[in-house]
Amino acid sequence: MNISELSRKLKIDPNRLRGMLPQMGFDVGRKAIKMDDRTARHIINNWRTLFREWELEYVKKEEEEEKPEIAPEERKEIRIPKIITVREFANRIDTPVNTLMKILMKNGILASLNDKIDFDSAMIIGDDLGWQVLPLDEDANLESGSEETIRETIRKSGTTIPRPPVIVVMGHVDHGKTKILDAIRSTNVMGGEAGGITQHIGAYEVEKNGRNITFIDTPGHEAFTAMRSRGAKIADIAIVVVAADDGVQPQTREVIDIVNAAKLPFVVAINKIDKESADLERVKRELAELNLIPEDWGGKTICVPVSAKMGKGIDDLLETLLLVADMQKEDLVADPKGDVVASVIESHIDKLKGVLSTVLVQNGTLKINDYLKIGNVLYGRVRSMENWKSEKLNEAGPSVPVRVLGLKLAPEVGDVLLAVENLKGLEKDVKRQESGRPFDIVYEKNKSEDNTGKDILKIILKTDVLGSAEALLGSLEQFKHSKVGIKVIHSGLGNITEADIDRALSAEAIIYGFNVRIDSKMEEIAREKNVEIEAYQIIYDLLDSVKARLEKKLENEIKRIDYGKLKILAIFKRDKDEQIVGGKVLEGKVVSDSKFDLMRQNVKIGKGEISQLQSGKQDVRESVSPNECGMKTKIGHEIHEGDILLIYKEEFEKVKIEM
């Protein structure tokens, strides 16, 4: 396993991990690239214990000595819900997100900016930073992204009835995830998508055997781990798509990890069985290596062979999903007459219509003119609703996805909206910075990064929807290098404006646009002000461009390749800067046009080059041990009999940026 892959699984910087592993007792060098799989699995399975032991020995003693005492009267008071995202908690306590993530890591909590932490963890961290963290009142604890909100609302409802299952479809890029959805709903989604990649989360309903099924479609590229994990949290069952001709890929393993972490039942759809290179047994074997034993091998993992292209196996897949849903029927309930709770699947701002949000109703019945809030903030009123077919709806019950028009503030993907009748006490005019959910996000990856000595690439990011912005920001965080870095100085929604160009000019930044339009006037202004703008429709093309710019900032590294060792036996001719000598190859080989270090009594005297090599009076390219050979050398020092030459070559190696 690559060290970089291990670091991604553990959510820790690769360079920091290389420094920690020897302290934990693992024989891993500071420049190691790979480690054996057995050791890697041991580290992954025992990471929390290993981290705790390392922390006690190397971190906590120093911190306790340096930690200043903060008097109780000096602590600021803050109230938070039972569950809160790392990013929102950082905003509330006025702490950079990366700083908070490091503090969480030191306390054994490995969380990204979109992960949620519980109240107890937040209270401990807040106490260390001089904050008195208190819980919100019972009526005000329904906060952004809280799964507890949904469970508690359903629990308090009087009468619950079965609701349609919500299915999330995930898998490696190009394994046919969107084609499967295309076959399921019999619409040509692929034709309208750039590069065959689903760019945004969507929701769809289908009917099978007289029962409705809701599908959540998440992006398939590895850049969208955060969005995939959100999708898993609002779903009941997952479909993990694996191509029969390509097998289990790293992104597939990543998806399986997300689904297992969410404790989500799943079905494996083995797609592309119509291809000549399809190998179902290989896929099942690779699944078994991940402890996912297929049912026909005596295990519990349900595998359904399908061909989305030919339409084969789709009915079997739907019937299997209904069977799995029946096994989960105790959890698949809601109260259509109860309090309305809806999760945000997508949200963006339309130039003409304003905020458009796709929501999945989790409980109750959402109706036209319902007021919606998050926490204590009023987000607006439902003025219009459409289903996935663009049909107008007056109401939507549990497990029904709808597009809502009329909100004044743009919620984030994964937020939980609540319908409310009494508007008294709700905040209606929330400042952007205070709300934490602005139309334009100012995203500072690391406030102190400019002082690290790194060559920083400054970026202004404009996207069409919040989901894309979050996916890109999360992906940009994955670029790691000791000499270069990225700082997103501004991220916003909508088309590129003159204000973006002026901001880029003053900050010496480049503007990246994703699924946004650049009109001719903005292009002309950018040319006049010498500001670069790049626009993309495929996310990993944008990421490749950023990666190329970072690599361009790095100089190529010189790599030394050692060839062998030679002992000087005779000196035939000496000139000012050139000598002809003879010797015996002791180890390896001597290569023409190579370099050497001149060693005398184990001390390096100088270095030179071999311009010509002969063996038996014939010019040769190389001479191997234990042969003798003659050489014409270029060197500024005299070579003596008995000296040792260490033969090597230098090659320029292009520096790669890890992600």
pLDDT for residue 149 is more than 50:
yes
In one-letter notation, the amino acid at residue 100 is: L
What pLDDT is stored for residue 61 in this prediction? 52
| 336-430 shares the fold of 162-333 | no
Q: How confident is the model at residue 599 (pLDDT cuts 50, 70, 90)?
A: very high
Assess whether pLDDT exceeds 70 at residue 59.
no
Query: Sign of torsion, CA 430 433 436 441?
Result: positive
pLDDT at 139 over 80: no
Q: Report pLDDT digits (tens) over 12-26.
A: 777 778 788 888 888
Average pLDDT over residues 213-234: 55
Does the predicted TM-score (pTM) go above 0.75? no
Give the rounded distance of the alpha carbon of 293 from its chain centre: 28
| Type of residue at 616 | G
Residue 219, pLDDT above cutoff 80: no
Beta-bridged to residue 206, according to DSSP, are: 213
pLDDT over threshold 90, residue 326 = yes
Q: Which of 225-234, 392-401, 537-546 shows the highest mean pLDDT?
A: 392-401
**CATH says 440-553 is which class?**
alpha beta
pLDDT at 510 over 90: yes
Give the pLDDT confidence of 251-273 residue by residue, as tens digits: 788 788 878 877 889 999 999 99
**Burial classification of residue 503, based on how many CB atoms lie within 10 Å of its CB (0-12 exposed, 13-18 middle, 19 or more buried):** middle
**CA pair distance 55, 166, nearest whole angstrom:** 41
According to CATH, what is the number of the domain 162-333?
A: 3.40.50.300
Whether the predicted pLDDT of 179 surpasses 70: yes
Cα–Cα–Cα angle for 108, 109, 113, rounded to 5 degrees: 145
Phi-psi region of 552 (alpha: psi -120 to 50; beta: other; left: phi over 0): alpha
**pLDDT at position 136:** 65
At the topology level of CATH, where does 336-430 sit? Elongation Factor Tu (Ef-tu); domain 3 (2.40.30)
DSSP state of 136: P
pLDDT beyond 60 at 200: no
Complete DSSP assignment for 522-571: HHHHHHHTT--EEEESSHHHHHHHHHHHHHHHSPPEEEEEEEEEEEEEEE
Q: What percent of the chain clears pLDDT 90, i.e. is strictly above it?
A: 25
**Are 399 and 164 a contacting pair, CB within 8 Å?**
yes
Kindly tell me the number of DSSP H helices and DSSP E strands found in the chain. Answer: 19, 34
Residues 6+ apart with CB under 8 A from 544: none
Confidence of residue 317 (pLDDT cuts 50, 70, 90): very high
Selected residue with higher pLDDT from 176 and 637: 637
Cβ atoms of residues 9 and 16 within 8 Å = no
pLDDT at 224: 42
Report domain extents, the chain: 1-58, 68-141, 162-333, 336-430, 440-553, 557-653
DSSP 590: E
DSSP letter for each residue of 493-535: ESS--HHHHHHHHHHT-EEEEES----HHHHHHHHHTT--EEE
**Quick one: average pLDDT of 616-645?**
91
Kindly state the tokens that stand for 473.
Answer: 């920001």
Q: What is the mean pLDDT of the chain?
A: 79
Q: Domain 557-653's class?
A: mainly beta
* Two tokens, residue 261: 């972490």
- What is the rounded CA–CA span in Å between residue 420 and residue 60? 46
β pairing state of 211-217 and 510-514 = unpaired
